[in-house]
Chains A and B, each alone.
Chain A
């Protein structure tokens, strides 16, 4: 089979390993999203806070720089200590950037394939539904990792390196909180956005649906809690459950009386149920053909 010959010939060359084929989807998707200047600009902005964090950690350990900036070390340590709260605030902020990233990239991941009947083309090949979902999920997971736990852990290790004297060992909980918390949030948000993309074909409506899940439902949960004087309403709110989980992972208080009443197991349960529901929705939708019963 050659362009100039214009004839058909079978392919008898080597094949790529089967396990690696789901990574083809993110490779193609990255090219698409990085072709957008707006998205690249947004991605650049996502690194501002980690960079500011890096600067802050550096200043905490460089007296010459502080002297040059005319900043006393004690004041800086009082105003912005490098501790669990510092990392928690940073990672929580980055998590909301994750949400914006999902809002921008997510709705276009599965919906166009369904709209254009592309799934039979994937699934008629040695490529399973699981690999398809995993591949699409990798698009979000990779981009979100780039702005959450990767810079978070780099800052953590940088602080440990500069602080020395067993700081890393003493604060291992911070490192694990950054890693586990970020991954939990990434998984929840990725699965929810993929499920929405699989069921809502129109991008603006998919975005509105995502806003409903992460903003309207928490508002409803608050109203329910206020009306019934309970914390059960939080079981409807993925973002509130995540706030509770963050606080617990970093060993801090959530900061709100009612939220502090929410048991940790209930927060994890909410996140798990959110993921299970999203997976169920995906399994119902990601099929080569719809079966009309």
Chain B
């Protein structure tokens, strides 16, 4: 698979009513599996919906595989598969008929759509239940049926909106295995929107974090993992903490505070732990805990929530 951008956001803005939801998003996403993270109301689903053409862009635009979503919406949608977050199916239909209809709507000839519907349902693990009506399925099975309909026409880009929502641990594992498997074929790019950091960490190689309709962070998890950068996590009590933080920063330390009295920092060359203790002692700050840690997605997410900076390459704490 080439490294050409999958999605290019070019100052994308979306207003729903008079409310701005997405505020000038600009980024070039090129991962095989891109995680879309953010707290509730950050604009994740609105971004997916805008890329799907459900909401018009108020300003700017986006390109998917080089195609403009505003002028080539139909061609863009022909290359996409979408698994919505909420329950979505067609009532009164067996799974195979439902998935076949979705395949036909995507442009597959009737016979091929039937063939692919069977294949997709076997692939997601609903082979034995494919002649049952979808409304009789359990929640986990409905999620799988939604995945099957998103795959039936063999898209190049798959949008998965909270695919593990409401699943028990076994079903969740099965879903994540499928996502891994689809990703590893190298035939399809995946955009995985989730509020579960573990899901994104397990499946994705890039992550885009949104906050209040803006891009808080966009980074390559693979690079982060390879860099395997260690950092220090401090927990402090008492004393003049703001002055301590300022003094540490003055040493040229990259740092971020996460929660009250928790500080994460990467020490530059020439600065040691002893310097931290000295600065703390001068300001009567107690260092209660000091750990070496590796960057995790949770750290990236927490920092993004605190700093709210625009994308500036991949380097961050």
Contacts and interface: CB of A to CB of B under 8 A. Distances in A.
Interface of A: 1-3, 6-16, 18, 21, 24, 28, 32, 112-113, 115-118, 120-128, 287-289, 291-293
Contact of B101 (A3, A24, A123): A24
Interface string B183-213: 0010110000000000000000000000000
A127 B90 contact: no
A21 B153 contact: no
Contacts of B116: 1, 11
Contacts of A113: 90-91
A7 B185 contact: yes
A117 B84 contact: yes
Contacts of A12: 154
A120 to B, nearest CB: 5
Nearest to B134: A116
Contacts of B49: 288-289
A24 to B, nearest CB: 5
A8 B105 contact: no
B86 to A, nearest CB: 6
Given A126-B74, A291-B16, A3 B127 contact: yes
Interface in B78-111: 78, 80, 82, 84, 86-92, 97, 101-102, 104-109
A293 B77 CA distance: 26
Q: Which 4 A-B pairs have the closest CB atoms?
A: A11-B154, A293-B17, A15-B107, A124-B82
Interface string B112-146: 10001011101100010000000100000000000
Nearest to B187: A10
B300 to A, nearest CB: 29
A171 to B, nearest CB: 43
Contacts of B112: 11, 13
A36 to B, nearest CB: 12
Given A1-B119, A8-B123, A126 B75 contact: yes
Contacts of B80: 124
B106 A126 contact: yes
B292 interface: no
A11 B108 contact: yes
B107 A126 contact: yes
A116 B90 contact: yes
A267 to B, nearest CB: 38
30 contacts: A1-B123, A1-B154, A3-B127, A6-B123, A7-B181, A7-B185, A8-B185, A11-B153, A12-B154, A21-B107, A28-B97, A32-B92, A112-B92, A113-B90, A118-B89, A120-B82, A121-B88, A123-B54, A125-B77, A125-B153, A126-B74, A126-B77, A126-B78, A127-B105, A289-B54, A289-B55, A291-B16, A291-B17, A293-B17, A293-B19
Contacts of B90: 112-113, 116, 118, 121
B180 to A, nearest CB: 11
Report which residue of A24, A126, A128 has the largest number of chain B beta carbons within 10 angstroms of its beta carbon: A126
Given A24-B101, A120-B84, A288-B54, 9 more contacts: A3-B127, A11-B116, A13-B109, A15-B109, A16-B107, A24-B104, A113-B91, A118-B88, A128-B74
Contact of B104 (A8, A16, A128): A16
A8 B123 CA distance: 7
A21 B84 CA distance: 22
B87 A117 contact: yes
A34 to B, nearest CB: 14
A121 B52 CA distance: 11
Interface in B233-272: none
B156 interface: yes
Contacts of A10: 154-156, 187-188
Nearest to B46: A289
Contacts of A7: 123, 181, 185
Report which residue of A112, A125, A127 has the largest number of chain B beta carbons within 10 angstroms of its beta carbon: A125
B302 to A, nearest CB: 30
A118 B142 CA distance: 13
B317 interface: no
B305 interface: no
Contacts of A21: 104-105, 107
Report which residue of A1, A10, A21, A289 has the largest number of chain B beta carbons within 10 angstroms of its beta carbon: A1
B182 interface: yes
